[in-house]
Amino acid sequence: MIRKNIYDLFSGLIFVIFFWYLLHFIIDDRIIPNPLNTITNTINLLFTWGFLKHILYSSYRLITAVFLALTMGSLLGILIGLNIRLEKLLYPVIYILFPVPKAAFMPIIFVLFGLGDSSKIFLIYLILFFQIVVSVHNAVKNIPKEYYISAASLGLSKKELYKHIILPAIIPSILTSLRICVGIGIAVLFFAETYATKFGLGYYIMNSWSLINYLNMYSGILVLSGMGFCLFSVVDVLEKKYVKWK
Amino acid sequence: MVSCTDLSLRYDEFFAIKNINISIKKNTTCAIIGKSGCGKTTLLHSIAGLKKLDSGIVRINNELLTGIRKSTGFILQNDSLFPWKTIYDNVALGLIVRNKNKCEIEELVIDILKELELLDHKDKYPNQLSGGQRQKVAIARSIAIKPDLLLMDEPTASLDEITKESFQKLLLNLLKQHPMTVVFVTHDIEEAVYLADSIIIMEDGKIKTTIDNSLGLEEKSRDNLEFYKMCLNVRASLGESL
């Protein structure tokens, strides 16, 4: 299984590099640099503190926002999924706010949280939060009623019901949300790091672009993608550990 | 053992069950049969303590039923096993919540799985088993808590004919080894006659009639002509309810 995954990964990588080479030859050497040069440049950059600082800033912002959105979103999703009164009160609000483009609230977020890290983390958090609430709420609602009857007949207390039934039942949805969140989160992170900061991969990419240093720009993109890949792999590991039954 | 007095339950204006009075003796089996929507499952859920009644009382072992009892086992028609738990963990769950110690749980679960020929599957997940095996696990999970009352809601409805018959035999043997009071809902006349000491026929939320069945719980009863006469008798009693 592991060997098959590594094989799939390797063949995917070969395909991407091949496609990259193709574009490099067809388009322009400066706009699409040689993949090998980009990889070498990235490896060299990874040994410089200046570049590592950008990675650390981006990781901190992304992981904090995802963690906060995941815990608070899951909690609210479970609460409104189980409590009909709370659901009647809050779900219409969440349903209305879910499709609203949260990035449009950026000026308000600036006013409330300033221009520093907090506003960037909050923007990512805000976009992910609704996604998680909606999918956890749906997961709770989709737990078959037979499970509750079985649990009740086995004498499970409310606490045991959460531990043995509700949480395990919604873990697959939480992990799917997490996977989607990582993708969206990175996109928002890039956007958030293009203003009022001198640190982060978003800033690094845009700064390299304005300096017409395409090689560094691509290295930034490569590392940002690598960051997404690492977080995806963490979700894979969690899935293998907690969703063995699927 | 089980005594229901004047049970009534309404969903809006519709009576799911109305003025139900039944009495089931200890260590006997009782089948509830009738057409869909006649109130069989509601009655079973009421005996399980899962329904809030509009009126009437249920007594089990002369004690007033106020909620779910810890010594009532319940088997549902559909898969009610938890798919994220292995077979072992599914069977052990009722014991874990009863605060049994780990060694005791292991001993009990292994014994039951062995008895039901499920030991080889203990580390598998429910979706790796057939429908018949999953229902066997559901039985194992219910009897692990050593219930004095076992309730089953159409336990064989989702099984094919061959699996159904072997499941019924297994249930019969199990009841001989672990005597307990059993109340089950079924659509299957043969199953009712094969497994039940008494058969309650329901119609429109009420009890139409109760038939005493001397042929119940006899392994070879299906080889006997009397068995099929009893089936015809039940069928006739069902009449338009069928």
- Are residues A23 and A89 part of one domain? no
| Residue from B51, B93, B105, B141 whose CB has the most chain A CBs within 10 Å, to mutate | B93
Chain-chain contact of A146 with B76 (C-beta, under 8 angstroms): yes
Q: What are the residues facing B59 on neighbouring strands? A: B3, B64
Decide if pLDDT at B164 tops 80. yes
User: How many CA atoms lie less than 13 Å away from A62 in the CB half-sphere?
Assistant: 28
C-alpha distance from A151 to closest chain B C-alpha (Å): 9
Question: Closest chain A residue to B77 measured between Cα atoms?
Answer: A146
Q: What is the CATH number of the domain that holds A238?
A: 1.10.3720.10
Q: Encode pLDDT of A181-191 as tens digits.
A: 888 899 999 99
- Tell me how far apart the alpha carbons of residues A216 and A50 are, in angstroms, rounded to a whole number: 12
Chain-chain contact of B74 with A156 (C-beta, under 8 angstroms): no
- Tell me how far apart the alpha carbons of residues B10 and A74 are, in angstroms, rounded to a whole number: 36
- Are residues A181 and A65 part of one domain? yes
- Cross-chain CB nearest to B76 (options A150, A155, A165): A150
CA dihedral sign of residues A93, A94, A98, A99: negative
* H/E element, B118: none
Range of the domain at A6: 1-32
- Are residues A123 and A56 part of one domain? yes
- Report which residue type is found at B170: L
DSSP string across A137-174: HHHHHTS-HHHHHHHHHTT--HHHHIIIIIHHHHHHHH
Residue B123, Cβ density class (10 Å: 0-12 exposed, 13-18 middle, ≥19 buried): exposed
Question: Closest chain A residue to B128 measured between Cα atoms?
Answer: A245
Q: Which residues in chain A touch residue B125, judged by CB atoms under 8 angstroms apart?
A: 244-245
B113 contacts B140 by C-beta, under 8 angstroms: yes
Question: Closest chain A residue to B91 measured between Cα atoms?
Answer: A154
pLDDT at position A86 is: 92
Which residue did the predictor score with more confidence, B215 or A128?
A128
- Are residues A182 and A195 part of one domain? yes
- Number of folded domains that form chain A: 2
| Residue from B44, B80, B129 whose CB has the most chain A CBs within 10 Å, to mutate | B80
Decide if pLDDT at A150 tops 60. yes
Percentage of chain B with pLDDT > 70? 98
Enumerate chain A positions whose Cβ falls within 8 A of a Cβ in B. Answer: 144, 146-147, 149-150, 152-157, 160, 164-165, 168-169, 171, 243-245
Question: Closest chain B residue to A170 measured between Cα atoms?
Answer: B84
Through-space distance between the first and last CA atoms of chain B, rounded to whole angstroms:
29
A132 contacts A70 by C-beta, under 8 angstroms: yes
Q: Chain A contact for B127, CB < 8 A?
A: yes
Decide if pLDDT at A131 tops 80. yes
- Tell me how far apart the alpha carbons of residues A27 and B164 are, in angstroms, rounded to a whole number: 68
Q: Chain A contact for B79, CB < 8 A?
A: yes
- Are residues A53 and A18 part of one domain? no
Q: At what angle do helices B87-96 and B102-115 cross, to 10 degrees?
A: 130
Decide if pLDDT at B240 tops 60. no
- Are residues A7 and A61 part of one domain? no
Closest by Cα among A224, A188, A185, A228 to A204: A224
CA A56 to chain CA centroid, Å, is 16
Q: Which residues in chain B touch residue A245, judged by CB atoms under 8 angstroms apart?
A: 83-85, 125-127
Phi, psi of A28 (to 5 degrees): -155, 140
- Are residues A43 and A3 part of one domain? no
Q: Which residues in chain A touch residue B74, judged by CB atoms under 8 angstroms apart?
A: 149-150, 153
Q: Which residues in chain B touch residue A243, judged by CB atoms under 8 angstroms apart?
A: 84
Residue A1 pLDDT level (bands cut at 50, 70, 90):
low
Q: What is the rounded average pLDDT of the residues A133-152?
A: 91
CA dihedral B48, B49, B51, B55 (to 10 degrees): 110
SS3 A245: coil
Chain-chain contact of A155 with B125 (C-beta, under 8 angstroms): no
Decide if pLDDT at B138 tops 60. yes
- Are residues A103 and A12 part of one domain? no
pTM given for the model: 0.82
- Are residues A123 and A7 part of one domain? no
Q: Which residues in chain B touch residue A156, judged by CB atoms under 8 angstroms apart?
A: 93, 97
- Are residues A23 and A109 part of one domain? no
pLDDT at position B37 is: 85
C-alpha distance from A147 to closest chain B C-alpha (Å): 6
- Cross-chain CB nearest to B80 (options A149, A155, A244): A149
Q: Which residues in chain B touch residue A165, judged by CB atoms under 8 angstroms apart?
A: 82
SS3 A232: helix
- Are residues A137 and A52 part of one domain? yes
- Cross-chain CB nearest to B94 (options A155, A171, A243): A155
Q: Chain A contact for B68, CB < 8 A?
A: yes
Question: Closest chain B residue to A158 measured between Cα atoms?
Answer: B97
pLDDT at position B200 is: 94
The full set of domains in chain B, from first to last, is 26-49+64-71+148-242 (3.40.50.300), 81-146 (no CATH)
ipTM: 0.83
- Are residues A134 and A90 part of one domain? yes
Residue A2 pLDDT level (bands cut at 50, 70, 90):
low
Q: What is the rounded average pLDDT of the residues B3-32?
A: 90
**Residue-level length of chain B:** 242
